[in-house]
Amino acid sequence: MLGLGTVVLLVLVVVSFVRGLEASLVISGDPLVALVHSLGAAENIENSTMPGRSPALLSASLARIESRFGERYVSPELYLGTEIHTESQSEVAMGLARGVTPSAPLVRRKFQLVSGHWPRAGEVLVGRLAAAKMGRDPVDLAAGKKLRFESRDWTVCGEFSSGGSALESELWCPLEDLQQAMKRQDLSLVAVSVTEPAGLIDLAEFCKERLDLEWQATPETAYYASLQRHYGPVRTVAWLIVVLVAGAGVFAGLNTMYGAVVGRVRELAMLQTLGFSRRAIALSIVQEGTLLAAAGSLVASAIGLALLQGVAVRFTMGAFTLRMDSTALIVGLMTGVTIGVVGSLPPAWRALRMPVVDALKAI
């Protein structure tokens, strides 16, 4: 049971990794938000460059942009990966910084301020998974702590969440401060929220007509879908690992059941002498293996839910949490029960093929 439970726990870890990665990318996309960036930078927005006047031009040229109380839902942003120094450690960490304005929460609808306040000059707001992305203890990014990146010191002013999206791996700071620190006046992208899907078409047509701007509009869902395709090989390798671990578990189950059955050859022969059919005895052996596998799978699932659910994992795109949902649990339980059934059949067949007289004399 311990061996089968360990196999199932490994399967749960890998499946939870895949499910967490997929969920993070799916949650990140908003169907009514488009990202406007320089032409050809769809998968590398950090390399995009746009003039600082881009938000005003978009607001004045398009009608289907969402607005409330006269405020247009247009968010100019400067996005980059950079080296970040913390107070407690001398080694630098790679993190994601995003320069934003107060209009960013209007476009990023899942944004929630968990603690602290919106960043003022010289301050930075950290995402819930920013510490995991940087490989640091969350205490190092607590409110009041000092960070240094882009040759400037920043004070952590609070923490935000974004419904489990990729934005939670980032550090948000005032756009003008980040531009001054980087000695740049341009932008990486402009996030635009539209009132209806037709607004996305209007935005795409506008970027195509204005060839002089060299802009491209990518729906946010399409952007994260492209990232999901980009990480397709990673998911394939992860599922292959699940198959390999399950295969190793089958052999472990075979060895365990062989040892258990070989030591009970005389017992099984005695049962045949008493009148039990070989089919009934084989079925009882399979039932024992299945019961052990099911018990080990349930124990592994309980341990996984207690220790693995929500654990943050670093990745190239940022960070995400392991997701032990119903799919992961079903895969783990089915793997365990399958190992129990398949691992029990060969030992049962081998033990019952031996003649009863020889089996009664076995040592």
Q: Is the predicted pLDDT of residue 43 greater than 80, yes or no?
A: no
Percent of the chain past pLDDT 70, that is, above it, reads 97
Confidence of residue 158 (pLDDT cuts 50, 70, 90): very high
Given a cut of 80, whether residue 255 has pLDDT beyond it is no
Q: What is the pLDDT of residue 234?
A: 83
- What tens digit of pLDDT does each residue of 48-82 get? 899 999 999 999 888 899 998 888 999 999 999 99
Residue 34 has pLDDT above 90, yes or no: yes
Domain ranges of the chain: 2-23+231-361, 33-195
Distance in angstroms (rounded) separating the CA atoms of residues 248 and 3 = 11
300-318 core/surface letters (b: 16 or more CB in 10 A; e: else): bbeebeeebbeebbebebb
Distance CA 290, CA 253 (A): 10
Q: What was the pLDDT predicted at 363?
A: 57
If you average pLDDT over every residue of the chain, what do you get?
87
- Give the chain as a 3 state SS string: CHHHHHHHHHHHHHHHHHHHHHHHHHHHCCCCEEEEEECCCCCCHHHCCECCCHHHHHHHHCCCECEECCEECEEEEEEEEEEEEECCCCCCEEEEEEEECCCHHHHCCCCEEEEECCCCCCEEEEECCHHHHHCCCHHHHCCCCEEEECCEEEEEEEEEECCCCHHHHEEEEEHHHHHHHHCCCCECEEEEEECCHHHHHHHHHHHHHCCCCCEEEEEHHHHHHHHHHHCHHHHHHHHHHHHHHHHHHHHHHHHHHHHHHHCCHHHHHHHHHCCCCHHHHHHHHHHHHHHHHHHHHHHHHHHHHHHCCCCEEEECCEEEECCCCHHHHHHHHHHHHHHHHHHHHHHHHHHHHCCHHHHHHCC
The residues pairing with 115 across neighbouring beta strands, listed in sequence order, are 159
- Give residue-wise pLDDT tens across range 207-247: 998 888 889 999 999 888 888 888 888 888 888 888 888 77
Summarize the confidence of residues 22-32 as an average pLDDT. 86
pLDDT exceeds 80 at position 354: no
145 C-beta neighbours (distance < 10 Å), count? 16
At 362 the pLDDT is 65
pLDDT for res 285: 82
For residues 300 and 336, is the Cβ–Cβ distance under 8 A? yes
Looking at residue 238, its pLDDT comes to 83
The pLDDT of residue 341 is above 80: yes
**257-280 pLDDT, tens digit each:** 777 677 777 777 888 888 888 888
pLDDT of 180 over the 80 cut: yes
Distance CA 355, CA 353 (A): 6
What is the chain's alpha carbon radius of gyration, rounded to the nearest angstrom? 29
Given a cut of 70, whether residue 186 has pLDDT beyond it is yes
Question: What is each CA distance from 317 to 34, 94, 231, 274, 281, in whole angstroms?
Answer: 19, 11, 10, 65, 54
- Per the DSSP assignment, residues forming a β-bridge with 161 are 112
